[in-house]
C-alpha cells in the first residue's frame, strides 16, 4: 500500500500464527458486514470454525494491521480443478476503518498474488449486490474487468514477470519480518507486567 495518512498501518501476508488475530477480526464484524462478507448470517461459532480452516486450505491471506490489531483482511482461495484458472477473493474491513483506502490496498496485494499464480478469473460471490465492492473493483479497471455484472469479477492477468515475482517475494520476506515484530509487540502488550521496573 502506498503511503496513506488515513490508514497509517501496514498490509502484510498473514501466517498461521496470526490465527487468533484473524478470529478476533471476524468476531468484530457486525451483522451487516458478516452478511456482506459471507453472503449469509454468520454466527460466532461459524466464524471461529472458519478462521481455523482458512489457513489450512489453499488460501493466501493478507491483513491490514494498525496499532497491533488486524482491521482488514483479503483472502485469495485457489479453486482447484478449474479449467479457467479461477480463484475466489473475499475482503473484510472493520466498519470504523472503511473509506480510507484499506480495501484498495488489500486488492493490490490480491491482484499481484493472483497474477503471479496465473489466475485468470477472480470469483467474488458478493459482487452483484455489493456497491462498495463494485466501486473497489472499478478502481482497478486497468487490471479487473466485469465479466458478469452479478457474480464474477475477472482479472485479465498477464503472465508473471521476473519483476512481479520479485515484488511478491520481497513483500513476503518483509511480511514475515513484520509478522514477527507484530507478534513481539502483542506479547509485550500482554505481558507488560513482566518488564523490569525502573526505580
Interacting residues toward ligand COA by CB under 6 A: 33, 36-37, 90-93, 98-104, 124, 126, 130-133, 135-136, 139
Q: How far is the CB of 160 from ligand COA (least distance, A)?
A: 25
Helix spans in the chain (H): 19-28, 31-38, 44-54, 102-116, 131-138, 162-190
Q: How far is the CB of 73 from ligand COA (least distance, A)?
A: 9
Instruction: Name residues whose C-beta falls within 8 Å of residue 92's C-beta, 6 or more positions apart in sequence.
Output: 25, 26, 29, 33, 37, 72, 73
Residue nearest to ligand COA (CB): 103
Distances (CA, A) of 117 to 1, 49, 110, 165, 193: 20, 27, 11, 9, 45
Helix spans in 146-192 (H): 162-190
Nearer to ligand COA, 141 or 162 (CB): 141
Q: How far is the CB of 135 from ligand COA (least distance, A)?
A: 4
CA atoms within a 13 Å half-sphere pointing along the CA-CB vector of 70: 30
Nearer to ligand COA, 42 or 183 (CB): 42
The backbone torsions φ and ψ at residue 90, rounded to the nearest 5 degrees and listed phi first, read -145, 150
Write the burial class of residue 69 (CB in 10 Å: 0-12 exposed, 13-18 middle, 19+ buried): middle
Give the containing element (helix H, strand E) for 30: none
Q: How far is the CB of 104 from ligand COA (least distance, A)?
A: 4
Nearer to ligand COA, 8 or 158 (CB): 8
Nearer to ligand COA, 23 or 100 (CB): 100
Q: How far is the CB of 78 from ligand COA (least distance, A)?
A: 16
Nearer to ligand COA, 17 or 135 (CB): 135
Q: How far is the CB of 1 from ligand COA (least distance, A)?
A: 10
Nearer to ligand COA, 124 or 179 (CB): 124
Amino acid at each position: 500500500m502506498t503511503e496513506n495518512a488515513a490508514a497509517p498501518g501496514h498490509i502484510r501476508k498473514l501466517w498461521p500464527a496470526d490465527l487468533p488475530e484473524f478470529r478476533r477480526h471476524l468476531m468484530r464484524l457486525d451483522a451487516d458486514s458478516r452478511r456482506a462478507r459471507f453472503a449469509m448470517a454468520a454466527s460466532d461459532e461459524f466464524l471461529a470454525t472458519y478462521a481455523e480452516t482458512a489457513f489450512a486450505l489453499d488460501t493466501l491471506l493478507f491483513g491490514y494491521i494498525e496499532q497491533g490489531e488486524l482491521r482488514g483482511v483479503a483472502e485469495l482461495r485457489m479453486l482447484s480443478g478449474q479449467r479457467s484458472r479461477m480463484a475466489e477473493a473475499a475482503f473484510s474491513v472493520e466498519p470504523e476503518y472503511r473509506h480510507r483506502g484499506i480495501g484498495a490496498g488489500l486488492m493490490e496485494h490480491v491482484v499481484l498474488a493472483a497474477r503471479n499464480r496465473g489466475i485468470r478469473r477472480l470469483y467474488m460471490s458478493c459482487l452483484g449486490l455489493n456497491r462498495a465492492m463494485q466501486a473497489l473493483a472499478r478502481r482497478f479497471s486497468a487490471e479487473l474487468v466485469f465479466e458478469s455484472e452479478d457474480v464474477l469479477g475477472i482479472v485479465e492477468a498477464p503472465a508473471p514477470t521476473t519483476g512481479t515475482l520479485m515484488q511478491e517475494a520481497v513483500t513476503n520476506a518483509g511480511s514475515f519480518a513484520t509478522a514477527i515484530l507484530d507478534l513481539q509487540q502483542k506479547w509485550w502488550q500482554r505481558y507488560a507486567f513482566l518488564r523490569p521496573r525502573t526505580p
